[in-house]
Amino acid sequence: MATSGVKLLGARQSPFVSRVMMALEMKSIDYELVEMNPYLKPELLSKTNPVHKKIPVLIHGERAICESLIIVQYIDDAWTNGPSILPPHPYDRATARFWTAFVDDKLVPLLGQLREAEGEEAKELVFKKFCEAFMRLEEAFINCSKGKAFFGGDSVGYLDIALGSFVGLIRVVEMMNETKLLDETKTPRLAGWAERLYSDSDSLVKDVLMDPQLLLVQLQKFQATMSKAASE
């Protein structure tokens, strides 16, 4: 299938957009990233995703595909060249989807809870929940990786993309709160996995992931823009 005519609507700093970029990178698909702020309600976003009006949106030819994980699965199905993103065995596919749902249902909401937490006691409670979630994901990594470098085995797979897109944001949270969430002493395999995503030669997505320090700067600029827009 041709790689031309592919556009991605999104913001570079969004972990959900990063998921799609990681999948496109794995498949060596040429695409154009159309940067946009969804909170400003751009017309193109409303037209291509009228139901949720959220990024990311993948435009392939004249068709629009919405929701990050649905887009990742679409990419895996539509472009059969390159490595498979989802595992080939039905049980492994089901397992990867289960833990991906865990990431979105249990881990991602904690980022919002932390943003809304007032006082150190409230933050500590959220940090404890983070620790519990990462302990679960440590067990998942042991079972899914089968002793190899990534959740997907020798190379990045579906669950690596789903969770890996949030590693930069987790590092930002660590820097802003002077704490350690991906702790080498508590979850050594998961911490090692996160480092490999950014540096391992077998990590096909390392060039997509933003450096946490740069991500922090970008997020601060984004928040400043939003605050200014809200006051006008």
CATH topology assigned to domain 90-215:
Glutathione S-transferase Yfyf (Class Pi); Chain A, domain 2 (1.20.1050)
CATH class belonging to 6-78: alpha beta
Mean of the pLDDT values across residues 173-191?
Answer: 93
In the chain, where the domains are located: 6-78, 90-215
Residue 1: predicted pLDDT: 40
User: Are 6-78 and 90-215 the same fold in CATH?
Assistant: no
As beta bridge partners, residue 165 has: none
CB 166 within 8 A of CB 106: no
Distinct helix (H) and strand (E) counts, the chain: 10, 4
- pTM of the complete model: 0.91
Q: What is the pLDDT of residues 39-52, one digit of tens each?
A: 888 999 999 999 99
- Please give the C-alpha separations between residue 89 and each of 38, 93, 106, in angstroms, as whole numbers: 37, 6, 25
Mean of the pLDDT values across residues 89-111?
Answer: 97
Q: Is the peptide bond before 90 cis (omega within 30 degrees of 0)?
A: no
61: left (phi over 0), alpha (psi -120 to 50) or beta: left
Instruction: Tell me which residue has tokens 């933050």.
Output: 123
Residue 41: predicted pLDDT: 81
CA distance 73 to 76: 5
Mean of the pLDDT values across residues 15-30?
Answer: 95
